[in-house]
Amino acid sequence: MTKIGFIGLGNMGGPMAANLVKAGHDVTATDLSIGAVDRAVEAGCQRGETVAAAVKDADVVVTMLPAGAHVRSVYTEDYGVIANAKEGALFIDSSTVDVDSARAVITAATDKGFAMVDAPVSGGVAAATAGSLTFMVGGEKQSFEAARPILEAMGKNIFHAGDAGNGQVAKIANNMLLGITMIGTCEAFNLAEKLGLDAQTFFDISSTASGQSWSMTSYCPAAGPVPTAPSNNDYKPGFAAAMMLKDMRLAQEAAHQAKAATPLGAQAEALFALMESAGKDDLDFSGVMKLIRGTL
Ligand code: NAD
C-alpha cells in the first residue's frame, strides 16, 4: 500500500483515483470542485481539503489537470505540490500538456530533489474506468520504474518514452496522426459514397487493403461497418472533437518550436477548429465526417 495524493478528479481523474483505491492504495484526493471530491470519497478516497493537505504525507502524487497552466500552478506555486510535499516523494503528471510546461515543471521538481515523470494517457473515460489506459512516460529510468506499479493500477500498457517531456511528445505525435487518418478516412468514405459505392462494401475492401488504419477498422466514421463506433450513435463521444483540437494545437505549437514540417497536421487542426467555430466540437472527433459531407 502506498500513500498517494491525487489532484484533479474530473472525467478521467475520478475513475483513476478510484482504481488506485481498488488496488489497495491509501489515496487522499482533492479538486476545486467539492462535488468531484465527494464522489472520490464515495469511491473510498480520503478527503483532501487543499492541495497541501492532499500531498503532505504522500509518497506519490498523481495529477490529472486540464492543461499546462493548471499543471504549472498546482506544482510551482506556494500552495502547491513542490512547496508542500514530503522529502523523497515521487510526482506523476498524467495531464496532457505542452511539452515546454511538462519539461519546466519536471525541472522545477527535480531541482528541489523530487523525482517526477510526465505520464499522459491514451484512452478515454471508459479506459480510465476499466483501468486499461495506455501511459506514455517521460523521465529518468529510475523514476519510471518507481512510477510503474502505481500506473499499473490504472492502465494496461506502460511505455517509457525517454527523457522528461517525451511522454507528451509521444502523445501529441500519436494524436496528430490519429486526427489526420480520421479526416483521410472520412474523405475516402465520402468519395466512395458519392461515386455510388456503399460504406459497407468500401469498408470490406479497404479494411483488408492498403487504406486500412485504426480510424477505419476500430472507429469507422461512416455508420454501419463498426457497430461500436460513435458514427452509429449520432457521433456522441467517445473522444470529443474539442479534445482532439486541444491535442492538435499542442502538436502545432511543438512543431513550430522544433521547426518540424507538419502540413497535414496544420490542415487537420484547421478542420477541427471549424467544428469548434460551428459549436459542434462536443461531437466525437469522427463527427468531422459531417463537415466533410457538408452536413455539420
Ligand atoms: P476535466 O476537466 O474533467 O477534469 C479536470 C479536473 O481538474 C477538474 O475537476 C478541475 O476542477 C480540476 N482542477 C483544475 N484546476 C485545479 C486546481 N488548481 N486544483 C485542483 N483541481 C483542479 O478533464 P479530464 O477529461 O479529466 O481530462 C484531464 C486531462 O486528461 C486533460 O489534460 C485531458 O486533455 C487529458 N485526457 C482526457 C481524455 C478524455 O477522454 N477526457 C483522454 C485522454 C487524456
* DSSP state letters, 220-241: -SSSSSSTTSGGGTTT--SSBH
Whether 175 and 125 map to the same domain: the answer is no
Whether 185 and 151 map to the same domain: the answer is no
Write down which residue in 114, 131, 164 finishes a domain: 164
Whether 105 and 42 map to the same domain: the answer is yes
Contact 93, 119 (CB under 8 A): yes
Q: Rounded distance, CA 77 to CA 239, Å?
A: 31
CATH assignment at residue 273: 1.10.1040.10
Write down which residue in 164, 183, 203 finishes a domain: 164
Average pLDDT, the chain: 97
Contact 26, 1 (CB under 8 A): yes
Give the model confidence (pLDDT) of 10-47 as tens digits.
999 999 999 999 999 999 999 999 999 999 999 999 99
Whether 43 and 142 map to the same domain: the answer is yes
Whether 179 and 152 map to the same domain: the answer is no
- Ligand 1 atom nearest the C-alpha of 36 is 9
Residue 277: pLDDT above 90? Answer: yes
CATH assignment at residue 150: 3.40.50.720
Contact 233, 264 (CB under 8 A): no
Q: Rounded distance, CA 136 to CA 115, Å?
A: 17
Contact 129, 15 (CB under 8 A): yes
- Measure the CA angle with vertex 40, ends 78 and 242; round to 5°: 75
Q: What is the pLDDT of residue 238?
A: 86
Q: DSSP assignment of 252-292, as one string?
A: HHHHHHHT---HHHHHHHHHHHHHHHTT-TTSBGGGHHHHH
Residue 56: pLDDT band (50, 70, 90) is: very high
Q: Whole domain around residue 113: which residue ranges?
A: 3-164
Question: What mean pLDDT is predicted for residues 206-229?
Answer: 97
Q: Where are the alpha helices (DSSP H) in the chain?
A: 13-22, 34-42, 51-55, 68-76, 81-84, 99-111, 125-130, 141-152, 166-194, 199-206, 214-217, 241-258, 263-277, 288-293
Residue 167 exposed, middle or buried by CB count within 10 Å (0-12, 13-18, 19+): buried
11 lines ligand 1 (CB under 6 A): yes
φ, ψ at 162 (rounded to 5°): 115, -145
Percent of the chain with pLDDT over 70: 100
Whether 13 and 159 map to the same domain: the answer is yes
Give the model confidence (pLDDT) of 65-88 as tens digits.
999 999 999 999 999 999 999 999
Q: What is the pLDDT of residue 287?
A: 98
Whether 125 and 247 map to the same domain: the answer is no
Q: Rounded distance, CA 282 to CA 164, Å?
A: 32
Give the model confidence (pLDDT) of 141-185 as tens digits.
999 999 999 999 999 999 999 999 999 999 999 999 999 999 999
Centre of ligand 1 to C-alpha 12, Å, is 7
Centre of ligand 1 to C-alpha 31, Å, is 10
Write down which residue in 164, 194, 220 finishes a domain: 164
Whether 149 and 220 map to the same domain: the answer is no
Q: What is the pLDDT of residue 124?
A: 84
Residue 282: pLDDT above 90? Answer: yes
The catalytic site residues sit at 171
96 lines ligand 1 (CB under 6 A): yes
Whether 30 and 123 map to the same domain: the answer is yes
Whether 151 and 258 map to the same domain: the answer is no
Q: Count of domains in the chain? A: 2
Output the residue whose Cα is nearest ligand 1's atom 39: 124
Residue 236: pLDDT above 90? Answer: yes
* Cβ neighbours of residue 231 closer than 8 Å, sequence gap 6 or more: 220, 221, 222, 223, 224, 284, 286, 289
Whether 16 and 156 map to the same domain: the answer is yes
125 lines ligand 1 (CB under 6 A): yes
Selected residue with higher pLDDT from 31 and 123:
31
Whether 160 and 17 map to the same domain: the answer is yes
81 lines ligand 1 (CB under 6 A): no
Residue 123: pLDDT band (50, 70, 90) is: confident
Output the residue whose Cα is nearest ligand 1's atom 42: 124
Output the residue whose Cα is nearest ligand 1's atom 8: 10
